[in-house]
Each structure stands twice: as C-alpha cells, then as structure tokens.
C-alpha cells in the first residue's frame, strides 16, 4: 500500500469499463471508517453514473473530459442537514448554520474523500479530483438538488486507468516539514525548493506555450489569477449564505 501511494498518479483517462456496484459500495463504506468529529459523519456522497447527469454536471467543471469519460463521478458534500434534522426530531435545537460548523463538516468530508481515493487506487482504480467544484457550486447545487446545510466541497472522477501518465514532481520534504515551529521562507530557501520544478523540460515547455517569462507567471496570469480568485471568493460567500452556513 505504501508502494501504491508512492507510485500514484492522477488518472484523467479511463477504460470503458464499469465499476461493479458491490466494489464501489465496499470502497465507500470502508472509507466512512475515517475519523469524524464526534462521530457525526457530516457528509453525503452523490454517485453519478447516468450519462445525462454527467452531461449536466460537465459545464460546472469547465467541461473537463473526465466528467463524461469516467464511469463514476462522486460529488462529496458537506452535510449538516442530516444531523440537524435528527436533532430537531429529538427535541434538541441544532446550532450548525454557521462557518465553524461548515469548517468542521469540510474536514469530515475531505477525510472520507481521500480515504476513498487511497482505497480505490489500492483496488486498481484511478482517480482525479476536480477543484472546479467550489468554483461553480451553484450549478452543482441545482443539478444535484442540494438543499440548505448541504454544500459540494469536492468531486472525484473514478475508473479503470486507460494508460499510466508520467508521475509529476513534488517539492522536497524539507520545504514542507517544519520542526517544532514555522521557519519563514528566505529568498534562498525558495530558490532551492523550486529549483527542481523549474528545471523540468515539461515546465519549461509550459512557460513557452503560454508565452510567459517564468513558471510562476503561468500560475498567476493564466491558471489561478487574482481576478478569478476574488470573483470566486465573493461567489463562495454568497453560496455559503444561500446554503445556510453564514449569516
């Protein structure tokens, strides 16, 4: 299992082969063993297999081909609705319509999502996370009929890998792990940490293709711009209010 994680790659192309329902259920059920705050299990998973539903979800994910190509799409939702409904039915007044509760449920949900991924990869499946989920939550909320106190936090496409892409780089361990307290980065430590990433031919090609001077500019000017982030931040606040997690 160490080897599976060490050798893992994000898989964006899948064979036209279904995932057996029993296998999928076993993976999901096992993943729900992940740690959860106070045993509350503050999440729901929406399983999309239907081609028409994938078609409807696709624009929310900027039409990335994985959505329609994967046999299964899993939308992981923060869910304080189930727990709150239970409280109401048991003469208890829930107080989970706030940001702290949203964060607690976000943590719960992501632990389960990632446990699913590790298990799925160990079972020979490949996965891809779609960060677009929180970019266009409104479209997903409408498509999947998500009510108040439910919010889509991430999406995973799953299937049998069609080919094994090259493994991508990671920063050196010492750039990420701090002993005892946070050591702030220096110009030298930044240079050292990013040297390998910047030396890679694929990243040099990436700069050229985007007609930029540096790799960092591809991120700030093309992939994750300040303007987009600020627009999406405002939208996120709006949708958190709409779904009942913010006053």
Residues 208-247 that bind its own copies (CB under 8 A): 213-217, 219-221, 223-227, 229-230, 232-233, 236-237
Ramachandran angles phi, psi of 124, nearest 5°: 90, 5
Which position among 22, 51, 166, 180 is part of the footprint of its own copies (CB under 8 A)? 180
User: Does 23 engage in binding with its own copies (CB under 8 A)?
Assistant: no
The CA distance from 134 to 228, in Å, is 12
**37 touches its own copies (CB under 8 A):** yes
Q: Is 192 in the site for its own copies (CB under 8 A)?
A: no
Restricted to residues 49-88, the positions that interact with its own copies (CB under 8 A) are 49-50, 53, 77, 81-83, 85-87
Regarding 41 and contact with its own copies (CB under 8 A), the answer is yes
Contact pick of 20, 51, 166, 177 for its own copies (by CB under 8 A): 177
Q: Which is nearer to its own copies, 69 or 109 (CB)?
A: 109
The only residue of 16, 20, 29, 201 in contact with its own copies, by rule CB under 8 A: 29
CA distance 4 to 9: 9
Question: Which of positions 82-141 make contact with its own copies (CB under 8 A)?
Answer: 82-83, 85-87, 89-96, 98-101, 103-104, 106-107, 110-111, 113-115, 117-119, 122, 127-129, 131, 134-135
17, 170, 238, 241: which one binds its own copies (CB under 8 A): 170
Min. distance of Cβ 223 from its own copies in angstroms?
Answer: 6
**SS3 string of 14-62?**
ECCCCCCHHHHHHHHHHHCCCCCHHHCCCEEEEEECCHHHHHHHHHHHC
Count of residues interacting with its own copies (CB under 8 A): 117
Check if the beta carbon of residue 77 is closer than 8 Å to that of residue 44.
Answer: yes
Distances (CA, A) of 202 to 163, 206, 211, 220: 19, 6, 14, 18
Answer yes or no: are the C-beta atoms of 93 and 39 closer than 8 Å.
Answer: no
Element at 158 (helix H, strand E): strand 150-159
């Amino acid at each position: 299992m160490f080897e599976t994680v060490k050798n893992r790659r994000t898989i964006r192309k899948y064979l036209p082969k279904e995932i057996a329902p029993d296998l999928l259920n076993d993976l999901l059920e096992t993943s729900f063993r992940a740690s959860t705050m106070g045993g509350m299990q503050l999440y729901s998973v929406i399983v999309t297999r239907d081609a028409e539903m994938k078609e409807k979800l696709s624009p929310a994910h900027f039409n990335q081909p994985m959505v329609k190509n994967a046999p299964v799409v899993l939308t992981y939702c923060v869910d304080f609705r189930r727990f709150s409904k239970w409280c109401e039915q048991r003469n208890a007044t829930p107080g989970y319509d706030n940001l702290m509760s949203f964060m607690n449920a976000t943590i719960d949900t992501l632990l389960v999502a990632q446990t699913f991924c590790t298990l799925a990869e160990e079972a020979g499946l490949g996965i891809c996370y779609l960060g677009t989920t929180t970019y266009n939550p409104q479209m997903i909320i409408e498509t999947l009929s998500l009510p108040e106190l439910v919010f889509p936090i991430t999406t995973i496409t799953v299937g049998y890998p069609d080919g094994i892409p090259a493994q991508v780089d990671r920063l050196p361990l010492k750039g990420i792990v701090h002993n005892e307290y946070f050591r702030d980065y220096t110009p030298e430590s930044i240079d050292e940490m990013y040297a390998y990433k910047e030396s890679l031919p694929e990243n040099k090609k990436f700069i050229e293709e985007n007609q930029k001077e540096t790799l960092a500019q591809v991120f700030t000017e093309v992939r994750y711009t300040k303007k987009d982030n600020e627009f999406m931040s405002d939208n996120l606040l709006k949708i958190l209010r709409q779904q009942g997690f913010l006053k």
